[in-house]
Structure 1
Amino acid sequence: MSTETESLRTEIETLIERFKTVQFACVNESNEPLASYAPFVRHNGDFYIYVSALAPHTACLKTTPTASLLFIEEEQVSRNLFARLRLILQCSVTEVGRDGQDYETMLDRFADKFGPTIAMLRQLPDFSLLRMEITSGRFVKGFGAAYSVTDKAFNQLQQVTGK
């Protein structure tokens, strides 16, 4: 891995680590867009969210199992609001079954990150654990500094040019 790629990868990881929640967009079965957010846990390059069936985004993610995740620099720290540091990730979405080892392992990780609220949510039958696996993406550092993302470890980044 080149020094530049390693530096970009570090910037991406640092941006993600600044957040406990992720903003995302999905499309419902009527092909209408829906924006939302959820607390997340990251494991082996995948993002996990634990969401209620009462939230419109849960049905959206289960019916049309794709999402676009957004991690974006806070407005108050941005030097230019037209060029905020951001990471946009296209993901495929799969539900993690309650009967699997991954389910318990990931909910333990949620409890470690978010505390006692998870113990209560764990008991609610309408909650689902969803895995979001990166299929592609883009990291934008500012004007003229955008990079395509092709792997979930952020090891392969290619600068986007106008050509």
Structure 2
Amino acid sequence: MTIQENRAARGLFLQESFGVLSTISLDMPGYPFGSVTPYCVDNQCRPIIYISHIAQHTRNILADSRVSLTVVEGSGGSNDVQARSRVTCVANVRPIGDDGADARERYFRYFPSARQYDQTHAFAVFRLELVRVRFIGGFGRIYWIEPGEFMTTNPFSAAQESRIIQNMNNDHSNALRQYCGGGPTEMAGIDAEGFDVLKSSRKVRLTFDTPIRNIEDARQALAAIAKCKTSPLT
């Protein structure tokens, strides 16, 4: 396993926005139960999900925290789904308490409509504590990855990330929109390896040529985007 393969696995996971969450069924003891769920990641690249207390998978989780989350490369991949890259995160799920406000707010930036869910059903934020990660990147590229190799720390605190996002969305929205090919565009998150935008409510991942380490690196990388005349999405 190389640094490049670790980055490819993490890049795929950060690129997508939903996967199949498999829990251990209460109604069918011993059998796996799969359910599609949106996700984003926290500042350690751990998956965050927002699920209803009345959902079958939530009841399963509260009885047995062992799960897997499988993510498959999206529409940009091969027409043969088995030829697409995929990542399976084997994990234990933990509810996030009052100390998880930053993760909760980050989730809502990626899925703004989720803010309304609590008005109809009780929802809660859960974190997947990774045990191991399986990456299939193509023929001959099949690996187990340890959590410490897969996870990476966001160089920005929640407050710093929020300020960067507000600055881009409020002061540089035209440049961001142009860079992303036009249409409604908002930055949702930024980390060492790239940033995410919601383009007409669809998440799009844009990566940096070189990982950034601090606010100054971010400023330079985003300033270059503001000056760019062509979009990587067109």
Q: TM-score range by the shorter chain?
A: 0.7 to 0.9
Kept after mapping to 1: 8 A contact 2:92/2:130: yes
Which residue is 1:62 aligned to? Answer: 62
Partner SS state of residue 20, structure 2: strand
CA RMSD of aligned residues (A): 2.2
Which residue is 1:34 aligned to? Answer: 33
Task: Select the residue among 101, 122, 128 that pairs with 2:99.
Answer: 101
Amino acid in structure 2 at the alignment position of 1:39: P
Counterparts of 2:86 and 2:145, CA distance in 1: 12
Counterparts of 1:141 and 1:118, CA distance in 2: 31
Greater RCO (CA < 8 Å, at least 6 residues apart): 1
Amino acid in structure 1 at the alignment position of 2:74: E
Counterparts of 2:35 and 2:8, CA distance in 1: 24
Which residue is 1:77 aligned to? Answer: 77
Task: Select the residue among 7, 12, 17 that pairs with 2:14.
Answer: 17
Counterparts of 1:13 and 1:80, CA distance in 2: 22
Give the aligned length: 148
Amino acid in structure 2 at the alignment position of 1:49: I
Alignment map for 1:103-142 (pairs within 5 Å): 104-115=101-112, 117-123=113-119, 126-142=122-138
Q: How far did 1:76 drift?
A: 6.5
- Tell me, yes or no, if structure 1 residue 5 matches structure 2 residue 10: no
Q: How far did 1:6 drift?
A: 2.1
Kept after mapping to 1: 8 A contact 2:46/2:130: yes
Q: How far did 1:87 drift?
A: 0.8
Counterparts of 2:45 and 2:76, CA distance in 1: 28
Counterparts of 1:75 and 1:26, CA distance in 2: 26
Q: TM-score scaled by structure 1? A: 0.79
User: 1:53–1:72: structure 2 CA closer, same or farther, 3 Å change rule?
Assistant: same
Kept after mapping to 1: 8 A contact 2:53/2:124: yes
Tell me, which stretches of 5 or more residues in structure 2 are unaligned? 152-234
Tell me, which stretches of 5 or more residues in structure 1 are unaligned? 156-163
Range 77-86 or range 37-46, more displaced: 77-86
User: 1:123–1:105: structure 2 CA closer, same or farther, 3 Å change rule?
Assistant: farther
Amino acid in structure 2 at the alignment position of 1:83: A
User: 1:120–1:51: structure 2 CA closer, same or farther, 3 Å change rule?
Assistant: same
Give identity over the alignment, percent.
22
Partner SS state of residue 45, structure 1: coil
Counterparts of 2:144 and 2:105, CA distance in 1: 33
